[in-house]
């Protein structure tokens, strides 16, 4: 393990090398969900911060991602200048390539700037048959009530 139980290093650029994985000791299909409600990156045009609630669901095959390394990976986007779509797909592809899970989906619910939220969704394929996949539970943006 590169990070678990060790002093935390701050990473300034997203890189697959930040991530750690642990052997999956279970043979049956099950869903793992990571929810990051305070994700941040930087708009490449305005240099303003962008905020998102990101949910990753996946069915592991041989490996599971170690959660501290995933937190550090998310944190490495804090100064990353990229559009919402690019950030979302980069995270999805990185985790898919790193773990090679049976199934993976990402929901990125970006908070609005200029009055319009942008939500981005991606998945590798249909989820395994008979797997319970709950709704991601993020309500659509309603503005001020």
Active site residue 119: no
Helix or strand holding residue 91 (H, E) = helix 84-99
CA distance 72 to 69: 5
Structure tokens at 54: 């990101």
The closest alpha carbon to 29, from 108, 133, 124, belongs to 133
Cβ atoms of 62 and 26 within 8 Å: the answer is no
CA distance 74 to 13: 10
| Ramachandran assignment for 143, one of left (phi > 0), alpha (psi -120 to 50 degrees), beta (any other) | left
Structure tokens at 134: 């709950």
Catalytic residue among 43, 86, 96, 119: 43
Catalytic residue among 20, 29, 50, 96: 50
Active site residue 50: yes
Residues known to be catalytic: 43, 50
């Amino acid at each position: 393990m590169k990070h678990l139980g060790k002093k935390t290093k701050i990473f300034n650029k997203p890189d697959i090398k930040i991530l750690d994985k642990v052997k999956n000791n279970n043979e049956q299909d099950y869903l793992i969900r990571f929810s990051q409600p305070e994700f941040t990156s930087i708009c490449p045009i305005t240099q303003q911060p962008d905020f998102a609630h990101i949910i990753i669901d996946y069915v592991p095959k041989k490996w599971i991602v170690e959660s501290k390394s995933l937190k550090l990976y998310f944190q490495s986007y804090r100064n990353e200048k990229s559009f919402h779509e690019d950030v979302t797909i980069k995270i999805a592809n990185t985790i898919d390539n790193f773990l090679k899970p049976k199934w993976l989906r990402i929901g990125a619910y970006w908070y609005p700037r200029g009055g319009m939220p942008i939500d981005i969704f991606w998945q590798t394929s249909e989820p395994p048959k008979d797997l319970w996949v709950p709704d991601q539970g993020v309500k659509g943006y309603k503005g001020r009530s």
